């Protein structure tokens, strides 16, 4: 029996389709994310570029900017016929993939990314009985329902959300009153 033929039964590894558009990550040239986003939208291709608001203080002025959350990445929702038009953009380097096939990003992970970007809050964290390594869930605010791991860094607590579709870990400050422990880490 020939084992060289493989079938994909894992729903997380859904590949590009002829009929149904799916989300894929695209790697762009440095600081070209916004331009790629605009050009692909002009071609009628659905895109998502997660932006974060930052404030830069210069000697004589203060600037409020929107910069990409994930440097050199943009997300496209495409079918197989739109793959080539995406690659034709002068600032697109390649699709993010494992092996020869493109792997779709599940809609739930894209929704999680949208919710994280939409939160836009940084709060002063108070002390609590949470311990580093505890698995926690957000129980209030726009991020309600997200799960992650609590870290401690420089005396402050951070909520960590793992986005495994591009091997990215995002850290954000969340008030402990919006968290509940799902599972305590193993104590020595």
pLDDT 10s digits, 101-142: 888 999 988 988 888 777 554 333 333 456 778 888 888 777
Looking at 3.90.1150.10, 3.30.70.940, 2.70.210.12, 3.40.50.300, the CATH number of the domain 12-105 comes to 3.30.70.940
Q: Which of 48, 110, 43, 49 is nearest to 82 (CA)?
A: 43
> Model pTM?
0.69
- Domain parsing of the chain, residue ranges: 12-105, 135-183
- Dihedral of alpha carbons 75, 117, 14, 169, sign: positive
> What tokens were used for 123?
């709060």
Q: Is 187 helix (H, G, I), strand (E, B) or coil?
A: coil
Sign of the dihedral through C-alpha 116, 122, 123, 127: positive
For domain 135-183, the CATH architecture is Roll (2.30)
Token digits of residue 122: 């940084």
DSSP single-letter state for residue 55: E
pLDDT at position 9, please? 41
Whether residue 75 contacts residue 22, with contact meaning beta carbons closer than 8 Å, is answered with no
Low-confidence stretches of the chain (pLDDT beneath 70): 1-14, 119-130, 153-158, 161-167, 187-188
Provide the β-strand partners of residue 92. Answer: 28
Q: Residues in the chain, how many?
A: 188
């Amino acid at each position: 029996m020939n084992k060289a033929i493989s079938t994909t039964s894992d729903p997380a590894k859904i590949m590009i389709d002829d009929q149904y558009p799916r989300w894929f990550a695209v790697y762009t040239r440095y600081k070209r994310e916004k331009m790629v986003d605009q050009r692909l939208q002009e071609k009628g291709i659905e895109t998502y570029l997660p932006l974060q608001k930052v404030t830069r203080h210069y000697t004589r002025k203060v600037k409020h900017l929107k910069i990409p959350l994930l440097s050199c990445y943009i997300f496209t929702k495409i079918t197989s016929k739109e793959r080539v038009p995406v690659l034709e953009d002068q600032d697109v380097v390649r699709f993010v993939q494992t092996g020869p096939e493109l792997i779709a990003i599940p809609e739930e992970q894209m929704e999680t990314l949208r919710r994280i970007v939409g939160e836009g809050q940084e709060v002063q964290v108070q002390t609590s009985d949470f311990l580093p390594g505890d698995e926690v869930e957000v129980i209030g605010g726009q991020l309600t329902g997200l799960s992650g791991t609590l870290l401690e860094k420089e005396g402050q607590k951070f909520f960590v959300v793992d986005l495994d579709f591009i091997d990215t870990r995002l850290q954000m400050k969340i008030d402990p009153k919006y968290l509940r422990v799902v599972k305590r880490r193993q104590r020595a």
